[in-house]
Structure 1
């Protein structure tokens, strides 16, 4: 009889231990699932078509991606004159004027001087910079604005929605005020959600 009692006690201890291990595993799985939910990153994207302006054939597209508070734009163009071209964000998503002037000036919500992105002397929030078109008139630019921009956040100093992308005929010299002496507007696309 004592052997039976001892065997039952041993079985009870093993069963309780297994049950405790299973509960611990279930608790760990729950924590893991909760952590996965907490680490989901919101990604917003806007893709826009770039249309020719100023009697040119410059077209293309731009994709803005806002991931984890960091905004990047990748833009691809064709029909450009070979060489360097400026690209900026302008005040209004209105590409209705044949020369693109309906977009207004450079987007500059903080009233800084025109300059190269990140310059200590200041720069417009729309001062992206220059990119190069190859001998076939094709050009690409990838630009990371970090946390300086957002998509649809409502902050007037950061929100790019309602603005426009403009490609210029020439190169931005980063010093001439307020435009960088970049020349005419050859392509336009509105940043609209």
Structure 2
């Protein structure tokens, strides 16, 4: 009888551990820093049935529209953030939702981030086809990924980055 109880308890503990691990892989975050190295915002990333939802809150940016993308390397060395690599593009697509060449867009392409007159922005994006789990479309592939904000508006069609200009802010995507 004690052995059965032990087996049941061990099974329940194992199941609970699997549930905690599964929950952990359903969310991620990024602390977004400026070219000066100071934190100016955050991103909360959660899994959805179609991809990942990215909720961004930032301050201290110039008003207007800015390109924002998932980049292929989880490294944000200021001031230029070139260490973040290019756009996350595991499907070898063309840049931008308005690109006339198929396939498009990159999985890391997002719509523009709109910053208000006070330099603040709060936006939610959906990155279709991206996962927080395993596989080639995972934000946690070997080397990781980052979220990068650019100086200018993304035209949403020009390869490779929509003419969105310099990288002005970056955050490594972490579990």
Normalising by structure 2, we get a TM-score of: 0.77
What residue number does 1:92 align with? 73
Q: Aligned partners of 2:146 and 2:100: how far apart in 1? A: 22
What residue number does 1:179 align with? 161
Report if the CA contact (8 A) 2:99-2:157 is conserved.
no
What residue number does 2:146 align with? 164
Aligned partner (choices 96, 104, 107) of residue 85 of structure 2: 104
- Larger radius of gyration between Structure 1 and Structure 2: 1
Runs of 4+ in 1 over 4 A off after TM superposition: 55-58, 67-70, 117-120
- Which structure: greater helix fraction? 1
- Greater RCO, CA 8 A, separation 6+: 2
Classify 1:181/1:58 alpha carbon distance in 2 versus 1 (closer, same or farther; 3 Å): farther
Report if the CA contact (8 A) 1:56-1:186 is conserved.
no
Aligned partner (choices 135, 139, 142) of residue 155 of structure 1: 135
What residue number does 1:66 align with? 47
Q: Secondary structure at the match of 1:102?
A: helix
Classify 1:145/1:119 alpha carbon distance in 2 versus 1 (closer, same or farther; 3 Å): farther
Q: Secondary structure at the match of 1:165?
A: strand
Q: Aligned partners of 1:51 and 1:63: how far apart in 2? A: 15
Report if the CA contact (8 A) 2:99-2:156 is conserved.
no
Report if the CA contact (8 A) 2:150-2:167 is conserved.
yes
Aligned partner (choices 69, 79, 84) of residue 60 of structure 2: 79
More divergent stretch after superposition (69-78 vs 103-112):
69-78
- Structure 1: runs of 5 or more not aligned: 1-39
**Aligned positions of 1:5-44 closer than 5 A:** 43=23, 44=26
Root-mean-square deviation (CA, aligned residues, Å) is 2.4
Classify 1:58/1:79 alpha carbon distance in 2 versus 1 (closer, same or farther; 3 Å): farther
- Structure 2: runs of 5 or more not aligned: 1-18
CA distances 1:125-170 after superposition (whole Å, capped 9, x unpaired): 1101202100000011201234x1111x2211x2012100000010
Q: Secondary structure at the match of 2:111?
A: strand
Aligned pair count reads 149
Q: Secondary structure at the match of 1:127?
A: coil
